[in-house]
Structure 1
C-alpha cells in the first residue's frame, strides 16, 4: 500500500462501514494491513478472506493473524481471473491499490460480482491517474484513471454508489459500488 493509504487506514476503515458479523474479501491483501483491521471490526461473528496471488504474502498473513489470535481470517490463493470465493459469500469486496494490477479485468470483476451477496458492496481505492498532474511513476504504472475504472466496473454489472473523500488522500480515490440485480 502507499504511504497515504497506510496513514489514513482508520479513516478508510470507517468509510467502508464494515460492521460486526460482516463477511469481507480483502482482494490483493498484500501483507494484511487491512485484513487485520477488518478481522477486528467484524469480530467473532464475521469473517475475512485475505485473497492474494502471492503464496509468500498468504503465508505471512496466515502466520501473523494466528500469532495475533485472529481466528476469523482465511488466506485464499486467488488467480489473475478469479478471487476464488463461492457465490454470494461476502458482503464487501475491498481492493486497495490493487485494481490497477488486474490483468484479466472482465473475468475478475465477474468473479467479484458472483461472490458478492445481494446488497453487497465493492470498494475500490486506487491511484489518481491524471496526465499532467500525477507523478510520472503513477502514469507509467497505473493503466486506468478513475473515470475508466468506474466505467469498467459499471460495465461488469455494478451500480456506482458514491465517492468518499478521505482527507489524507492526495494521490488516491475511494469509490463504492453495489452489484446490480440479475445474472
Structure 2
C-alpha cells in the first residue's frame, strides 16, 4: 500500500514538473517561406539578416522612415552607462549611442555574424571611437558578463532569435539591478507597415514572450512611425 502510494506521488510530481517546464519550441512542416519553421509561443521565428542586408540597414531613407532619433531619445541613455546593442548589424545604432554614454561609458555591439562585427570595428578604428566594443554571440548566448549592463536594446532583431527564451534568460542575468531591455519591432497590428509578416510582431506577443523570460513590462512608447518600442525591467 505504501509503495503504491509512493509511486503515485512520484508520478504526480513528475507530471507537475513537466507541466511547469513545457517544451517552448515546436517545428511545423507548413510555414512562411521567410521563417525557419520553428515556432515559439505561437510565433514563427524569422530568418536572420546577414551581411547582405547592410545596404538595407544603412539606407538613406531610414532616417525619415523610422525616425531613429525618437528611439534613441526614448531610451533615456545617460553618460557613463554600459549599453548593449544586441544584433548590432552594421552598427547603425551603436555609433549614434556612443557619444551619449561618453568616455566613461561603453557600447557593446553584439552579433552572431563575425563579418558584421568586422565592419563595426573597422569603422570605429577609422573614426577614432574608443567606447564601442564588439562581442561575438552565439544563437543561444549573447556572451555578456552577469550584472554588467544598464540597458540592452534590439532594433528589429528579437523576432530573428533562434533561441529567444535562452537568449533572454542570459540577458536577464547580464542586467544590473534595475536594468532595462528595449525591444523595437515593426508593428504587426498595422497593415500599412509594409514589412514581411514574420518580420513584424504585435505588442501583445512581445509582452507575452518577455514575461515568459522573467521580465516586467514597464511601458510602451508609441511615438515611432512604424515600430513598437517596448520597455521591460529585470
Q: Do both proteins adopt the same fold according to a TM-score greater than 0.5, normalized to the shorter chain?
A: yes
Aligned length: 175
Q: 5+ unaligned residues in a row in structure 2: which ranges? A: 1-56
* Residue aligning to 1:160: 217
Instruction: Spell out the pairing of 1:37-116 with structure 2 (5 A cutoff).
Output: 37-116=96-175
* Residue aligning to 1:138: 196
* Residue aligning to 2:208: 151
Contact 1:127 1:173 in 2 (8 A): yes
Do the aligned partners of residues 142 and 121 (structure 1) sit closer, same or farther apart at CA in structure 2, a change above 3 Å counting?
Answer: same
The runs of at least 4 aligned residues of structure 1 exceeding 3 Å deviation read 1-7, 134-137
Separation in 1, partners of 2:88, 2:122: 14
Q: TM-score, normalised by structure 1?
A: 0.88
Question: Which SS does the other structure have where 1:149 is aligned?
Answer: helix
* Residue aligning to 1:27: 86
* Residue aligning to 2:74: 15
Q: TM-score, normalised by structure 2?
A: 0.70
For residues 8-60 of structure 1, the C-alpha deviation after alignment (integer angstroms, 9 at most, x for no partner) is: 12111111000100100000001101101111110000011000011111000
Separation in 1, partners of 2:92, 2:186: 18
Question: Which SS does the other structure have where 1:122 is aligned?
Answer: strand
Higher relative CO (Cα under 8 Å, sequence separation at least 6) belongs to 1
